[in-house]
């Protein structure tokens, strides 16, 4: 978790670890680790898993990513593969113990899973298991097929197969897994649900909740706690698309039903003023500059880092991956064998960091607008029209999405290419500023930056 330490996010990791392992609660729960893309959720989730494995001997951890397993097609089938791997490891652990009953049960689970995974489509197995060939109404997909097989339901059987019976069989399976590993509980970490296709994301969320995750009525006996790292804005949009025909459907209320705790991960941000406050962005700039100080003509690292933190402060750089890319490209520009631009003052560092922000963050503007004189008036007219309108969906052509970003307008204003005309309440072009910016961008592009 070196990145977490650099970002001063140990407080978030502590809160997450406490939520996932707090034994003072009545029992396990489902935790939502919420934040925008690039805010560091995966880093925190990985840090939680590493910390638990090293420091908590009573919890067994396993991880599932619907996006990483997308090649399996059906997300339920992908989860069955992950579960199969967990059962294989549990069986290996039991070889060191003397409990024939649990070993026999785990062998049975493995046989059922192998049978299901032989099929090209897990849902076809489910259809074959239900009398009359009609799909199960409560839950669908590979997980329900597994649960019904565990329950022993066959074609024509009159044995009840309600959700309580299905969950009881899954609970016993989870109990056997934790016992095989010598643990008291299981921690399931789910990442990148919001990067899966919408219908698959909702399918795995619903199936896991109905079958594998703790519910209020059985938390005292359920052996599993789950933590989901999710961009909630994206997931709520997925949910709305899936259930929008339901009267008064509220995605946020839906998530509140599923998750009893929520930990919010902030984006990379700057809070401070002229008093010299330091924060996450400062420490990242300062750390990178410090490592390369010998190639930066003896700059005052603290002052330059603070200037960059204060003056290259755009919301789009709240994304940690984009911020890391900007810092990397800046260091390439500033420490290369032949510098493309002079570095004399702090203002030089700030301007060049802004240029690279434009290059890294706004691909459409970089490729389709900035190089062409005739596109600038069109861009400004569209920008002013969009800001004057109240429409939510401003861009009809997907190629030009994000060119309406307030960050882009502010960045071009900071670079001196446009100005805001308060009398006319619109943006206006500064011809000489545009020419200077195009010349600078041309230098970067001809060197492949």
**Alpha helices per DSSP H over 259-374:** 280-291, 301-311, 320-335, 346-361, 363-364
Q: Residue 104's closest CA among 53, 167, 172, 49?
A: 172
> Average pLDDT, whole number, for the chain?
81
Q: What global pTM score does this model have?
A: 0.78
Residue labelled with tokens 């034994």: 23
| Token pair of 433 as six digits | 């500023």
Supply the pLDDT for residue 166.
Answer: 80
Query: What one-character DSSP code corresponds to residue 331?
Result: H
Supply the pLDDT for residue 148.
Answer: 65
Segment 382-418, tens digit of pLDDT:
888 877 765 444 445 555 556 667 889 999 999 999 9
Please say whether the beta carbons of 381 and 398 come within 8 A: no
Segment 338-364, tens digit of pLDDT:
778 888 899 999 999 999 999 999 988
Mean pLDDT by 10 residues, the chain (449 residues): 53 86 73 88 91 87 85 73 88 74 86 73 43 35 63 49 78 90 91 88 88 85 92 90 87 90 81 59 90 87 92 89 93 84 92 95 89 91 75 50 77 95 90 95 86
């Amino acid at each position: 978790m070196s990145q977490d330490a650099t970002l001063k996010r140990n407080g978030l990791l502590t809160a997450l670890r406490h939520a996932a392992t707090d034994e003072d609660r009545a029992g396990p729960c489902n935790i939502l680790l919420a934040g925008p893309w690039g805010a560091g959720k995966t880093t925190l989730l990985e840090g939680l898993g590493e910390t638990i494995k090293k420091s908590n001997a009573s919890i067994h951890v396993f991880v599932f990513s619907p996006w990483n397993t997308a090649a399996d097609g059906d997300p339920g089938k992908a989860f069955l593969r992950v579960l199969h791997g967990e059962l294989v490891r549990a069986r290996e652990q039991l070889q060191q113990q003397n409990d024939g009953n649990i070993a026999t049960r785990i062998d049975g689970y493995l046989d059922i899973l192998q049978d299901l995974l032989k099929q090209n489509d897990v849902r076809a197995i489910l259809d074959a298991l239900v009398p009359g060939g009609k799909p199960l109404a409560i839950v669908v997909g590979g997980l329900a097929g597994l649960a019904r097989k565990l329950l022993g339901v066959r074609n024509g059987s009159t044995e009840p197969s309600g959700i309580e019976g299905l969950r009881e069989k899954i609970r016993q399976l989870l109990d056997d897994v934790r016992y095989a590993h010598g643990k008291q509980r299981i921690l399931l970490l789910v990442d990148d649900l919001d990067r899966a296709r919408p219908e698959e994301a909702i399918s795995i969320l619903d199936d896991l909740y109905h079958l594998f995750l703790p519910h209020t009525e059985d938390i005292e006996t359920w052996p599993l706690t789950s933590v989901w790292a999710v961009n909630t804005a994206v997931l709520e949009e997925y949910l709305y698309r899936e259930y929008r025909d339901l009267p008064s459907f509220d995605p946020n209320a839906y998530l509140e039903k599923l998750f009893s705790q929520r930990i919010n991960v902030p984006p990379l941000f700057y809070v401070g003023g002229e008093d010299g406050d330091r924060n996450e962005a400062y420490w990242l700039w300062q750390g990178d500059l410090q490592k390369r100080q010998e190639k930066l003509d003896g700059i005052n690292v603290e002052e330059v880092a603070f200037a960059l933190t204060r003056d290259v402060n755009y919301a789009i750089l709240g994304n940690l991956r984009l911020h890391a890319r900007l810092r990397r490209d800046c260091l390439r520009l500033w420490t290369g064998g032949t510098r493309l631009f002079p570095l004399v003052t702090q203002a030089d560092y700030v301007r060049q960091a802004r240029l690279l922000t434009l290059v890294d963050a706004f691909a459409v503007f970089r490729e389709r607008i900035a190089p062409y004189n005739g596109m600038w008036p069109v861009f400004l007219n569209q920008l002013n029209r969009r800001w004057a309108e109240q429409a939510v969906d401003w861009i009809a052509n997907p190629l030009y999405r994000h060119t309406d970003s307030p960050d882009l307008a502010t960045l071009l204003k900071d670079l001196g290419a446009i100005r805001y005309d308060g009398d006319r309440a619109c943006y206006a072009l500064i011809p000489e500023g545009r020419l200077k910016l195009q010349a600078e961008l041309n230098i970067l592009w001809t060197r492949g930056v």
